[in-house]
Amino acid sequence: MNKKIFIAILLVICGVMFGVRVDADAANKTTKSKAVYTIKKNKKLLKGKKLKLEYRYDVPKLKGNSAVVKKINKSLSKEYNKEKNNTIIDRYKDSVNTYRYKESWIDSKKCKCTYNENGYLSFKYHTKWFAGGVCNEQYYGKNYNLKTGKKLKLTDVMTGDSYEIKRRIADAAVENGYSLIEDDIMGMNISKFDFYLKNGSVTVCFPPYFSVLGNGHVEVTVGGDY
């Protein structure tokens, strides 16, 4: 084979391989329109003679090295770093040898992605906590703009001013049988609402004991504009 032809073929092969590598790398990184992420599941199961503790904490992390990705990852890990030393593990260790009742404690925060399109990313969290007495359960969301790395506000995903947005949420709450919290919704600061995105809608989450609510979680879904 002619040496020049051989070199030309070799260069073409190298070029194709490089192109495939570039495409693969690009597909494995977060872009301005869609995130590539993993969710690390931190788990521990501690068992004593009578007392058992299940600990779980999910931590999502975006793939990529851009400033936006680093900003979002810092926000996502901040809560875990704050709460990982605030679990009931120490309380369990203090109680496991003297606890007189057969009981299972839990400290859990599960996470899943509910929206990842058009430059918006939303994670839904489900927390559950029990260490004797009352069990607390709650849902909330963390939402980001993939172009800027900033957290999304309700005004980013719903049209109208603050009053109009709160009115829509309050009306949806009343329609779902939660008329007792209507006034409290209207009195809230628009920046204080917890929510997550899913299928073009916005689900607003209210914590246990919100207003006149008892120990239970309440979610109200309204149409989104995103």
Residue type, 142: K
pLDDT at site 15? 47
CATH 3.90.640.20 intervals, the chain: 153-226
Please choose, from the candidates 110, 120, 124, 4, the residue with its C-alpha nearest in 3D space to the C-alpha of residue 57: 110
Q: Sorting pLDDT into bands at 50, 70 and 90, what band is 13?
A: low
Phi-psi region of 133 (alpha: psi -120 to 50; beta: other; left: phi over 0): left
pLDDT at site 24? 39
pLDDT at site 131? 93
CATH superfamily of 31-151: Fervidobacterium nodosum Rt17-B1 like (3.30.565.40)
Please name the residue that has the structure tokens 């430059």. Answer: 119
Report the number of secondary-structure helices (H) and strands (E) in the chain: 6, 8
CATH 3.30.565.40 intervals, the chain: 31-151
- In terms of pLDDT, which residue wins out, 215 or 49? 49
Query: Please, what is the end-to-end C-alpha distance for the chain in angstroms?
Result: 60
Choosing among 3.40.50.2300, 3.40.50.720, 3.90.640.20, 1.10.620.20, the CATH entry for 153-226 is 3.90.640.20
Whether 92 contacts 50, CB under 8 Å: no
